[in-house]
């Protein structure tokens, strides 16, 4: 579990990763609260589409069988143009689950989520709170790349939903980070913008697994002025995790 007391070396590493993210270094005052995003608790989220996407037989699959099912899936039209499905990567016993939108061109070629510029930024974001990429699990709402990197269509997300639900069931994470609007809206079954979901605590289905919403790294690359807000979200997630 990550605490707030850090050695000088860890503090230096954090500053380095924050600099890599393009975030001007600032230090919280002793109280911390006025410079940190408040975490307002919301009610538990019901009827998550990842568990209510229709009848499927993924519920009893282990990791190997689930991976094989995803890699050979033809459940929607996205499979026709993919190089390969992108299953997910990371520790099967991860306490942190990071969920993005969909594979991009780099991910489609390499078969791993978040390996391009957005992936490099995500790695630095994780390192800034003391997490190695290998310690977490990273997945996407859909497992195949949409043409021209467009947003996944609702039916595409619904087709992949049982796979993500099974991954969550197998991992049993302590916390979920939803990266960007598409991930958050699909997980929480809402059309709310990211800005209105930040700073609130949601829950996955009827479980006690909290979901924290923040910006997608690809968006942060286009809008670097929002990196400070993403850093506040990470601090809030870290504090929440420490209390679980």
Domain 44-243, what fold?
A: Uracil-DNA Glycosylase, subunit E (3.40.470)
Which residue intervals of 3-78 are DSSP H helices? Answer: 8-20, 63-71
Residues 162-179, mean pLDDT to the nearest whole number: 97
**pTM across the whole model:** 0.81
Is residue 130 scored above 90 in pLDDT? yes
Which strand ranges, in their side-by-side order, compose the sheet holding 175-179?
40-41, 200-203, 210-214, 175-179, 96-100, 137-140, 89-90
Q: How far is CA 6 from the centre of its chain?
A: 25
Is residue 69 scored above 80 in pLDDT? yes
Q: How far is CA 44 from the centre of its chain?
A: 19
For 111-127, what is each residue's pLDDT tens digit? 999 999 999 999 999 99
Distance CA 143, CA 108 (A): 9
Helices 117-128 & 8-20, crossing angle to 10 degrees? 150
> Hey, how many other C-beta atoms are within 10 angstroms of the C-beta on 185?
23
Q: What is the DSSP string of 57-80?
A: S-TT--HHHHHHHHHT--SSGGGG
Residues 78-104, mean pLDDT to the nearest whole number: 97
Q: What is the DSSP string of 79-137?
A: GGT-SS----EE-TT-SEEEEES---HHHHHHTSSS-SHHHHHHHHHHHHTT--GGGSE
Residues 142-167, mean pLDDT to the nearest whole number: 96
Is residue 101 scored above 80 in pLDDT? yes
Is residue 26 scored above 60 in pLDDT? no
Q: For residue 237, give both structure tokens.
A: 């997630």
What mean pLDDT is reported for the chain? 85
What pLDDT band is residue 48 in, cutting at 50, 70 and 90?
Answer: very low
């Amino acid at each position: 579990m990550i605490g707030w007391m850090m050695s000088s070396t860890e503090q230096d590493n954090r500053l380095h990763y924050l600099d890599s993210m393009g975030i001007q270094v600032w230090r919280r005052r002793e109280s911390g609260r006025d410079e940190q995003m408040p975490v307002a608790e919301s009610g538990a989220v019901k009827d998550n589409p990842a568990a209510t996407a229709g009848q499927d037989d993924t519920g009893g699959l282990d990791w190997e069988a689930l991976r094989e099912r995803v890699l050979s899936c033809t459940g929607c039209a996205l499979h026709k143009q993919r190089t390969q499905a992108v299953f997910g990567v990371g520790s099967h016993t991860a306490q942190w689950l990071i969920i993005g939108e969909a594979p991009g061109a780099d991910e489609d070629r390499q078969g791993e989520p978040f390996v391009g510029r957005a992936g490099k930024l995500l790695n630095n974001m994780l390192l800034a709170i003391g997490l190695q990429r290998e310690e977490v699990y990273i997945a996407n709402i859909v497992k195949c790349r949409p043409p021209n990197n467009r947003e996944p269509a609702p039916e595409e997300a619904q087709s992949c939903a049982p796979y993500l639900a099974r991954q969550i069931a197998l991992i049993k994470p302590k916390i979920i980070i939803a990266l960007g609007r598409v991930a958050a809206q699909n997980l929480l079954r809402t059309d709310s913008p990211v800005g209105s979901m930040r700073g609130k605590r949601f829950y996955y289905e009827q479980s006690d697994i909290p979901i924290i919403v923040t910006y997608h790294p690809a968006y942060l690359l286009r809008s670097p002025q929002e990196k400070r807000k993403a850093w506040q979200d990470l601090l809030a997630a870290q504090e929440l995790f420490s209390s679980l």
